[in-house]
Amino acid sequence: MKEKILVTGGAGYIGSILVEELLRNKYDVTVLDNFTYSNLSLSHLFHFKNLKIVSLDIRDKHLYKKYIMECDIIIPLAALVGAPLCDAQPKNASEINVNSNTFMLDNLSKNQKLIMPTSNSAYGVGDKNNFCDESSKLTPLSKYAKDKVKIEKKVMERDNSISLRLATVFGVAPRMRTDLLVNDFVFKSYFDGYLVLFEPHFKRNYIHVRDVSKAIMHMINNFNKLKGNIFNVGLSNANISKLELANRIKKFIPGLVINVESFKEDKDKRNYIVSNKKIEKTGFKPSHQLNDGIKELIKYYSTQKKYSQGNV
């Protein structure tokens, strides 16, 4: 008998991909979402009999507890995501990203399985070579990253848990986000024809949104073998600087003008090279390369009017 899975924030950027994958694999899925960005991202899934959708803010503890207790696997995606949004709404960020997740952890039984997506923004900056793996010291710089570190520590105090430190996610999803770095750079390159870069040497790692879903499915399918671990989730061949990313996009938009400016600092000081060897050794292999995502994004933007689909 298939396990029952609870996905909070299931109508979001990652959730709108993951929920479909879970349904097609015959899991009974309950989605909790307050539908801040509408329910259209899941409208093509309403016909699935194994889908339950509940309009709910996870700060409603009484109802949240009810749905927590009904499921075997919990995948908490509901969050205020990214440093700009958390800086703009610090109270909401604390309530949702920290307090609601703490409440969830306090109400899980020891037999329930938890797969918690966190963020490799927790690394902040790497060592002298900018290198980071799962054992590296965490130096979170933003409220968003600090809150993720706080929750991950609590998550890993229980046996039946896995934390996935996600690289910067890119690619097209039913609930689109244009504010993520790759998506944003391609958006500006396509519509404006130029990019202005500050501190272009800062490096990050990247992962396609569909490979995030694939990684979560990998954890579900191998949970008993992998539980109790933290895994970085990213493309090992995509530890690249902002300038390298811009030049990668220029290959597909040849007229792109790239301006490197020194008069302003980047507010986001993250700069690291991330190892993904640990998850790769478990048999996980991403299916989508960075170039695939750039081409996909150009195709998507070619059908859109110029408007932002972000979080702030």
Quick check: is 290 in a domain? no
pLDDT digits (tens, 9 = 90+) for 186-215: 999 999 999 999 889 999 999 999 999 999
Q: What is the DSSP string of 210-244?
A: HHHHHHHHHHHHTHHHHTT-EEEES-TT--EEHHH
CATH number of the domain to which 211 belongs? 3.40.50.720
Q: Which two tokens stand for residue 171?
A: 């690619």
| Predicted confidence (pLDDT) at residue 130 exceeds the cutoff of 60 | yes
Quick check: is 84 in a domain? yes
- The mean pLDDT of 18-47, rounded to a whole number, is 94
> pTM for the complete prediction?
0.95
Quick check: is 285 in a domain? no
264 burial (CB, 10 Å; 0-12 / 13-18 / 19+) is exposed
Going from the C-alpha of 66 to that of each of 32, 51, 76, 214, the distances in angstroms are 12, 17, 15, 28
The residue ranking higher by pLDDT, 128 or 163, is: 163
Q: What's the number of domains the chain is made of?
A: 1
DSSP 205: -
Quick check: is 263 in a domain? no
CA distance 101 to 149: 12
Element (H, E) at 203: strand 203-204
pLDDT band at 266 (very low <50, low <70, confident <90, very high): low
Quick check: is 132 in a domain? yes
Report the amino acid identity of residue 285: K
* CA angle at 47 for the pair 46 and 51, rounded to the nearest 5°: 60
Query: In which domain, by residue range, is 86 found?
Result: 4-170+206-233
